[in-house]
Amino acid sequence: MADEVITRFAPSPTGFLHIGGGRTALFNWLFARHSGGKMLLRIEDTDRERSTDAAIAAILDGLAWLGLGWDGEVIHQFRRAGRHREIAEQLLAAGKAYYCYATPEELDDMRAKARAEGRPPRYDGRWRERAPSEAPPGIQPVIRLKAAQSGETVLDDKVQGCVAWANENLDDLVLLRSDGTPTYMLAVVVDDHDMGVTHIIRGDDHLTNAARQMQIYQALDWQVPVMAHIPLIHGTDGAKLSKRHGALGVDAYRAMGYLPEALRNYLVRLGWSHGDQEFFSMEEMIEAFDLAHVGRSPARFDFAKLENMNGHYMRQMHNADLLAALVAAWPHLPPRDDLPSRLDAEAQKKLLAAMPGLKERAKTLVELRDGATFLFAKRPLALDAQAEGVLEDGGRAHLAVLLARLSALEDWSPSATESVVRDYAEEMNLKLGQVAQPLRAALTGRITSPGIFDVLDVLGRGESLARIKDQAG
RNA sequence: GCGCCCAUCGUCUAGCGGUCCAGGACGUUGCCCUUUCACGGCAAAAACAGGGGUUCGAGUCCCCUUGGGCGCGCCA
């Protein structure tokens, strides 16, 4: 089992599961599954000020909704602080790290001066070779890594390729703060090592961190995991992903009526490709996913394509499954007072009957739900302006005739109602639309809806006739 | 400022030196289907950032310019 692939997703719980984080989790999950390995979950909660339990819950909820399960127990980084400290001290004892007594003010001055002189703002190593006996009184030191000052640090990144940094550009980073708590750099390295992580797949905002982390690995004589830094997702304007451009939590996507499988499919194709293939089932994704085809340039988030993809998924789903998805999403969708707040058995039955006509016309669950409004409307229906217009424009007279003829029908099947309406239109030398539109207006209150004979069928004889009667002139 | 990364249609991308007058998808436009709206079908417009090299041959390799992004904390 020594060569089993182990990836990890390591969010910091300072907010919801961001869409970019969702994609990172997806890539880690797919890579692990593809390789028959595991994906571990580590919560990076060492920032006690900003980490919250609510955020942890939101992240777990988001992952679950996306269908990305993790293996083993959730690791909480903060609880491992003792282990981190131990390693820092080990490094100190080995002469690979040292105490630094520079004060924050001193460091600020150092950086300000460096900037002013046009030099990079780095720690100058002033305590690197000094004995702790020279320490000024009353100062709690930090522990810094004694990093190599010459040569270079080279990362063979699976996505970015070979990336090299001159060590003189990397300063001696802090491992342990003056209050004895570990820094992120130390904690990440120690945790990934202890967790047996073999592949680190994360956003490329961590690329420079990778170099510094490699220095820690080297000081510890630990094997550096395989790294893959994936490009960040950008907004439609190419700049940082803003709220307006999709920088939302995955819960927001649920609220907008997207199916998790569609979001997953959209996300996997953002920065990764497999020839010309656009649609992937879960199995296909796992089978095809690889790091080699992850692109190096950042992708822009495009709602239009997501929406299209979601529409595809909705249409190919079985009606019962789509109904189940709608029922599950219902409480998360923006509320509307003209619709039931919960879907009881009766409501679900209506929805299922109307589903074939409804799902062709919706790209999201919100649209699906809104398209179903007529099913739950109370008589007499509130007509929108255009529906009103169709009825005013001679429609009511047709309704009166149709009411009589339809009332006489024994068989209320779509084919039966259709022949009644068609015959009438033919007799009057009208186009079918001239009769169908007033009917639609009376039955749904709108001028667009599923096929009118299906609407008649779904609504049922009693309700249909009553609605027609309400509007007949 | 310094370091690093990126650059094919509006967007996501295929392309790993010749098979590319650059392919697919979304979006857009037109036509068809049609009781509305959709769906579906067909078609069209639409790109190798610019400049130098290397090579018999470059979207594909190298350099520069330009334009984006990320990083440079006792945050993660």
pLDDT tens digit string along A284-336? 999 999 999 999 999 999 999 999 999 999 999 999 999 999 999 999 999 99
- Cβ of A455 < 7 Å from strand B? no
Which protein residue has its CA closest to C1' of B38? A361
Chain segment A112-140, per-residue pLDDT in tens: 777 777 777 788 777 788 777 777 778 88
d(Cα A11, Cα A44) in Å, to the nearest integer? 6
Q: At what angle do helices A303-316 and A260-268 cross, to 10 degrees?
A: 130
- Cβ of A113 < 7 Å from strand B? no
CB-based contact A221:A81 (threshold 8 Å): no
Is it the case that residue A1 has pLDDT exceeding 60? no
d(Cα A218, Cα A220) in Å, to the nearest integer? 5
Which protein residue has its CA closest to C1' of B26? A305
CB-based contact A241:A20 (threshold 8 Å): yes
CB-based contact A380:A402 (threshold 8 Å): no
pTM to 2 decimal places: 0.93
Which protein residue has its CA closest to C1' of B23? A276
Give the confidence band of A245 by pLDDT, cuts at 50, 70, 90. low
Is it the case that residue A159 has pLDDT exceeding 80? yes
Is it the case that residue A237 has pLDDT exceeding 80? no
Two tokens, residue A256: 């907008």
Residues 210-239 of A with CB under 7 A from strand B: 231-232, 234, 236, 238-239
Chain segment A73-91, per-residue pLDDT in tens: 999 999 999 999 999 999 9
Lowest-confidence segment of A46-50, A57-61, A77-81, A431-435 by average pLDDT: A46-50
pLDDT value for A113: 79
Is it the case that residue A391 has pLDDT exceeding 80? yes
Chain segment A399-410, per-residue pLDDT in tens: 999 999 999 999
Task: Count the neighbouring beta carbons within 10 Å of the beta carbon of residue A106.
Answer: 13
d(Cα A231, Cα A201) in Å, to the nearest integer? 11
- Cβ of A205 < 7 Å from strand B? yes
